[in-house]
Amino acid sequence: MNIKKLMVILSVPLVLIAQTACIGATEKPKLEADSLPLGETIEVNLDLAEYKFIPNHLEFELGKSYNLKIRNIGKVRHEIGAPVLAVSVLTLGVEVINKDGNTIVTFRGKPAGIELMPGQTVHWRFIPIKAQPKAKQMTCDEPKHLQHGMLGTFIIR
Ligand SMILES: [Cu+2]
């Protein structure tokens, strides 16, 4: 075996070792909300229709990870307005999903109100960080919907 071939054979594992060491050295802990070690996500369904929230009461627990799947199953535009919920949770993301099931937009921040056209779905992923042991309201703020009884409650314990 000539010396050039030997060098090539020896250098391959060295390159691999060097790359592995590099990856290990540059890996930093991620601190973004998306990468928090959350454990299992609990899916909660909330449907909006004329003129009600289904179910009309939701319960969450502090520190658990939730995906609140909100669907407008009605024939007109509806809204979930829950400003107290918005400030009592750490929102990881709000995804708007089209009729084909594809995410069309994701945003971060506190969604005090979310409007949905008929057939639309929103996934609101959050972790409750503030207890709300007394029932707080969530309402539909479309004109006259609240007067028609479109009102629900939630607690965080
Ligand atoms: Cu409504």
| Residue 124, domain extent | 36-156
| Residue 113 backbone dihedrals phi, psi, to 5 degrees | -150, 140
Distance 35 CA to ligand 1 centre (A): 34
Distance 109 CA to ligand 1 centre (A): 23
pLDDT of residue 33: 52
| 10 inside domain | no
Distance 141 CA to ligand 1 centre (A): 7
Amino acid code (one letter) for 8: V
pLDDT of residue 112: 83
Residues of the chain below pLDDT 70: 1-38
pLDDT of residue 108: 86
| 29 inside domain | no
pLDDT of residue 29: 45
| 75 inside domain | yes
Distance 67 CA to ligand 1 centre (A): 21
119: left (phi over 0), alpha (psi -120 to 50) or beta: left
Q: Confirm if 46 and 54 have CB atoms less than 8 A apart.
A: yes
Distance 113 CA to ligand 1 centre (A): 12
Distance CA 5, CA 77 (A): 72
| 99 inside domain | yes
Distance 11 CA to ligand 1 centre (A): 67
Q: Confirm if 67 and 123 have CB atoms less than 8 A apart.
A: yes
How many domains are there within the chain? Answer: 1
Distance 86 CA to ligand 1 centre (A): 19
The 3-state secondary structure of the chain, one letter per residue: CCHHHHHHHHHHHHHHHHHHHHHHHHCCCCCCHHHCCCCCEEEEEEEEECCEEECCEEEECCCCEEEEEEEECCCCCEEEECHHHHHHEEEEEEEEECCCCCEEEEECCCCCEEEECCCCEEEEEEEECCCEEEEEEEECCCCCCCCCCCEEEEEEC
pLDDT of residue 31: 44
| 14 inside domain | no
Distance 87 CA to ligand 1 centre (A): 22
CATH of the domain at 123: 2.60.40.420
| 5 inside domain | no
| 146 inside domain | yes
Distance 43 CA to ligand 1 centre (A): 22
| Sequence-separated (6 or more) residues with CB below 8 Å from residue 52 | 149, 150, 152
Question: With a threshold of 0.85, does the pTM exceed it?
Answer: no
